[in-house]
A and B are shown apart, each in its own frame.
Chain A
Amino acid sequence: MSVVLIVDDNTPLAEDLAEILADAGHRTETACSGEDAIRRVLRGGIDILVLDLRMPGMGGIEALRRLRQTGVSVPAIAMTAFADEATKVHGIEAGIRAVLDKPVDYARLETLINQIAA
Chain B
Amino acid sequence: MEASLLRTRRERAGGRAGLGILSGPAHNAAVSEPFLDEVKRYLLWTDADADALRDAHQALAPQLSEVIDIHYLRIVEHEDARRVLTGGEPQIARLRRTFETWLHQCFLGPHDHAYLELRSRIGHAHVRIGLPQRYMITSIGIMRSALRPLVESLIAAERRAATHVAIDKVLALDLTIMLEAYQNDTLDKLARNERLATLGQIGASIGHELRNPLGVISSSAYLLRKSVANDARAARHVTKIEHHVELANRSIADLLALVREVPPTLESLPASALVHEAIEAAALPASVRVSVGAADTSVRADRGQTVQALRNLLANAAEAMRGSGAIDVTIEPDGDAVEIHVDDAGPGFTREMLGRAFEPLVTTKSGGVGLGLPLVRRLVERQGGKVRAINRPGGGARLTLRLTAAQNGPGHHP
Residue positions of A touching B, CB distance < 8 A:
10, 12-13, 16-17, 19-20, 23, 81, 84, 102-104, 106
Choice from B211, B218, B222 contacting A81 with Cβ under 8 Å: B211
Q: With the chains together, A52 CA to B218 CA distance in Å?
A: 16
Are A16 and B220 within 8 A (Cβ)? yes
Are B214 and A103 within 8 A (Cβ)? yes
Choice from A16, A81, A84 contacting B223 with Cβ under 8 Å: A16
CB of B6 closer than 8 Å to a CB of A:
no
Are B223 and A13 within 8 A (Cβ)? no
Q: With the chains together, A55 CA to B312 CA distance in Å?
A: 31
Per-residue contact bits, chain B 216-229, to A (CB 8 Å; 1 contact, 0 not): 10111011001000
Are A102 and B223 within 8 A (Cβ)? no
Give every chain A residue within 8 A of B245 (Cβ-Cβ). Answer: 103
**Closest residue of A by beta carbon distance from B218:** A103
Residues 110-128 (chain B) with a chain A CB within 8 angstroms: none
**Shortest CB–CB separation between residue A113 and chain B, in angstroms?**
15
* Chain B residues bordering chain A, tally (CB within 8 A): 16
Are A103 and B226 within 8 A (Cβ)? no
- Report the number of A-B residue pairs with Cβ-Cβ less than 8 Å: 37
Choice from B211, B223, B249, B260 contacting A20 with Cβ under 8 Å: B223
Are A13 and B215 within 8 A (Cβ)? yes
| A–B Cβ pairs within 8 angstroms, 26 of them | A10-B212, A10-B215, A10-B216, A12-B216, A13-B216, A16-B222, A16-B223, A17-B219, A19-B223, A20-B219, A20-B222, A23-B223, A81-B208, A81-B211, A84-B260, A84-B262, A103-B211, A103-B214, A103-B215, A103-B218, A103-B245, A104-B215, A104-B218, A104-B219, A106-B219, A106-B222
- Assuming the contacts A81-B208, A84-B262, A103-B249, asked whether A23 and B215 have C-beta atoms less than 8 A apart, the reply is no
**Closest residue of A by beta carbon distance from B216:** A12
Are B215 and A102 within 8 A (Cβ)? yes
Q: With the chains together, A16 CA to B225 CA distance in Å?
A: 13
Q: With the chains together, A12 CA to B211 CA distance in Å?
A: 13
Known: A102-B211, A104-B215, A104-B219. 6 other contacts (CB 8 A): A10-B212, A10-B215, A10-B216, A19-B223, A104-B218, A106-B222
**Shortest CB–CB separation between residue A59 and chain B, in angstroms?**
14
Give every chain A residue within 8 A of B218 (Cβ-Cβ). Answer: 103-104
Q: With the chains together, A104 CA to B212 CA distance in Å?
A: 11
**Closest residue of A by beta carbon distance from B214:** A103
Q: With the chains together, A108 CA to B249 CA distance in Å?
A: 18
Q: With the chains together, A106 CA to B245 CA distance in Å?
A: 14
**Closest residue of B by beta carbon distance from A10:** B212
Q: With the chains together, A19 CA to B218 CA distance in Å?
A: 13
Q: With the chains together, A81 CA to B219 CA distance in Å?
A: 15
Give every chain B residue within 8 A of A81 (Cβ-Cβ). Answer: 208, 211
Choice from A16, A23, A84 contacting B216 with Cβ under 8 Å: A16
Give every chain A residue within 8 A of B262 (Cβ-Cβ). Answer: 84
**Shortest CB–CB separation between residue B185 and chain A, in angstroms?**
32
Q: With the chains together, A104 CA to B260 CA distance in Å?
A: 21
Give every chain B residue within 8 A of A104 (Cβ-Cβ). Answer: 215, 218-219
Give every chain A residue within 8 A of B212 (Cβ-Cβ). Answer: 10, 13
Give every chain A residue within 8 A of B208 (Cβ-Cβ). Answer: 81
**Shortest CB–CB separation between residue B127 and chain A, in angstroms?**
35
Give every chain A residue within 8 A of B222 (Cβ-Cβ). Answer: 16, 20, 106
Q: With the chains together, A23 CA to B208 CA distance in Å?
A: 28
**Shortest CB–CB separation between residue A22 and chain B, in angstroms?**
10
Choice from B219, B226, B249 contacting A13 with Cβ under 8 Å: B219
**Shortest CB–CB separation between residue B373 and chain A, in angstroms?**
22
